[in-house]
Amino acid sequence: MNRLLLTATGLLACVFTAQAMAAPPQALTDSLTVNGESMPVEQVLDTPVQGLWEVHLANGESFYSDASGEHFVVGDIYKNGADGLVNLSEQSRNAQRAARIAEVPDSEQVIFRSDAAPKATIYVFTDTTCPYCQRLHEEVPALNEMGIAVHYLAFPRAGAGSEGARLLSQVWCAPNPAEAMSAAKRGEALDIAPDCDNLVESQYHLGMELGVQGTPAIVMPDGRLVPGYVPAERLAEMLDLNG
């Protein structure tokens, strides 16, 4: 707790009241440079802290800047309210993550769901060679039965040029990707050429952009990133479906 308070205090100490007049986001985007080189700014957002802007780069990194682009702050903003400390930066990351996931068409995902309309949908960055991904996949029928749809995205742990990426490409190239996903996670060899116009590499880069560091990585409907295997019953609790 003391460390969090020191972090919050140090962050607020970096707010420059002399520069509290906020610049328009486009003006700040145009002025952000390092060593004379323009920064790959993708988005500039306002924050609850006057004079401080949230900057998102094209490579997925983010930081805070004053209106002039002269002073940067790297870290999280916390609101100290009646209910304790709330990580506003994490809330922003969640919203950004949910928005990016929503841009991926269903046709580019491998989807498991029941015939009934789902009560909730989770997005899982997966690798067929990952033991904990295989374990989570064994619980997909239970998740579907509880009304949770599972949408898979590809994330080869060893990189876009790895054997894991080739196996995921076979899944995405299959006539029935769902059946191929299940077979691959059972350790069965797939007689499918991985040379279609598949999306494994782009989804791998999307995962890195969203903060995925390993598999499985579960993105909840609100954009929260949950790393690692989570049992079906626990996921239902996290989605508030057991009440």
Residue 18 predicted with pLDDT over 50: no
- Give the model confidence (pLDDT) of 122-159 as tens digits: 999 999 999 999 999 999 999 999 999 999 999 999 99
The string of DSSP codes covering 130-190 is -HHHHHHHHTHHHHHHTTEEEEEEE--TT-TTSHHHHHHHHHHHSSSHHHHHHHHHTT---
Q: Name the active-site residue from 157, 186, 195, 234.
A: 157
Q: Given 66, 93, 97, 127, which residue is catalytic?
A: 127
Give yes or no: 127 in active site.
yes
Check 14, 133, 186, 196 and give the catalytic one. 133
Span 36-50, pLDDT tens digits: 888 888 888 888 888
- Cα dihedral 136, 137, 140, 142 sign: negative
| Phi, psi (degrees; rounded to nearest 5) at 64 | -115, 145
Quick check: is 130 catalytic?
Answer: yes
Question: With contact defined as beta carbons under 8 Å apart, do 76 and 87 qualify?
Answer: yes
Q: Which domains does the chain have, with CATH numbers?
A: 2-91 (no CATH), 104-238 (3.40.30.10)
Residue 33 has pLDDT above 70, yes or no: yes
**Percent of the chain whose pLDDT exceeds 90:** 60
Supply the pLDDT for residue 243.
57
- The reported pTM is 0.79
Which of 130, 166, 195, 224 is an active site residue? 130
